[in-house]
Amino acid sequence: METVLPEDVLHRFLLESAGVRGVLVRLGPAWREVAGRAAYPEAVRDLLGQALAASALLTGNIKLEGSLSIELKSAGALRLLFAECTDQGRLRGLARWHDPLPEPLAVAELPQSVMAITIGHAERGQRYQGLVDLHYPSVGEALENYFQQSEQLPAKILLAADGERAVGLMVQRLPGEGGHDASTDEDGWNRIEHLTATLGVDEMLGTSPEQLLYRLYHEESIRLFEPRPLAFGCSCTRERVESMLRSLGREEVEAALEAREGEIEVICEFCAQRYIFDRIDAEHLLSASHNAAASTTAQ
């Protein structure tokens, strides 16, 4: 009989005497929803799963308003990888690739690859963006380095994914007061880092969060916070699609109407929601843009 594991959940924990805080994310159904949107080759799928788990993981210790996204672009076979987690715990993601894929598929080897972490409200223009140095063997290690650089605190990040689950674990030394280590336990961080590094991919994917934390840190004083639920969710709306069409301009919209017998169909790549616009809708949204432009000039 298969045991049902608690999934789509984010756990925050504190290893008090060691002076270390941590986040553990385990995705099941939410990840399968994302993974099932395209016929992803295994290597692409697993990287996408890792990025999705990481996007949730990185929200664990920050005060998030809006969303946190991880985006990788390259001129190579993996053109785009995008994963996002909102302040409501809604996750979405996608990847674009072309064959042949290099084996193994390592982000550091992709030509002209750039990875950015964006935090905040894109639409309100309130956002912070940081670039991740990708010269590391894994996405986890690249993010680890990013954290070390940006927060000046040592961190350890492990990510794992297969077709069923995506799991991420992050431990981070607590910021000390006045530049000193917060804990009196001199060896705390080294011990936790070593314990965490012993975790294998299969163990990560096959163990429930509570069991995993117990197995790793049962000799430490561990404090678990209330788990946060996560779920698949897309932020697309008809209004957003309208403003995208508006930004294309009249000529392009009319050409699209012409090509598809008077109907524009837009399908969201994240959630497969269909949006249909006929000539009347198109005229309406284009004239709305005209009015908006007119009122801006009038000011």
Contacting positions for Zn ion (CB under 5 A): 234, 236, 268, 270-271, 273
- Rounded to a whole number of angstroms, the minimum distance from the CB of residue 232 to Zn ion is 10
Cβ proximity to Zn ion: between 123 and 186 the closer is: 123
Question: What Cα–Cα distance (Å) separates residue 17 from each residue in 155, 175, 187, 240, 274?
Answer: 17, 14, 10, 48, 52
- Rounded to a whole number of angstroms, the minimum distance from the CB of residue 286 to Zn ion is 23
- Rounded to a whole number of angstroms, the minimum distance from the CB of residue 85 to Zn ion is 15
At 251, list the tokens. 């000529």
Beta-carbon contacts of 73 under 8 Å, excluding residues fewer than 6 positions away, are 79, 80, 113, 114, 115
Cβ proximity to Zn ion: between 53 and 268 the closer is: 268
266 and 66 Cβ atoms separated by less than 8 Å: no
Q: Is 291 helix (H, G, I), strand (E, B) or coil?
A: helix
Cβ proximity to Zn ion: between 13 and 270 the closer is: 270
- Rounded to a whole number of angstroms, the minimum distance from the CB of residue 228 to Zn ion is 22
- Rounded to a whole number of angstroms, the minimum distance from the CB of residue 231 to Zn ion is 14
Cβ proximity to Zn ion: between 205 and 271 the closer is: 271
Cβ proximity to Zn ion: between 123 and 187 the closer is: 123
Please name the residue ranges forming H helices in the chain: 29-35, 42-57, 139-151, 188-197, 201-206, 209-217, 238-248, 250-259, 279-298
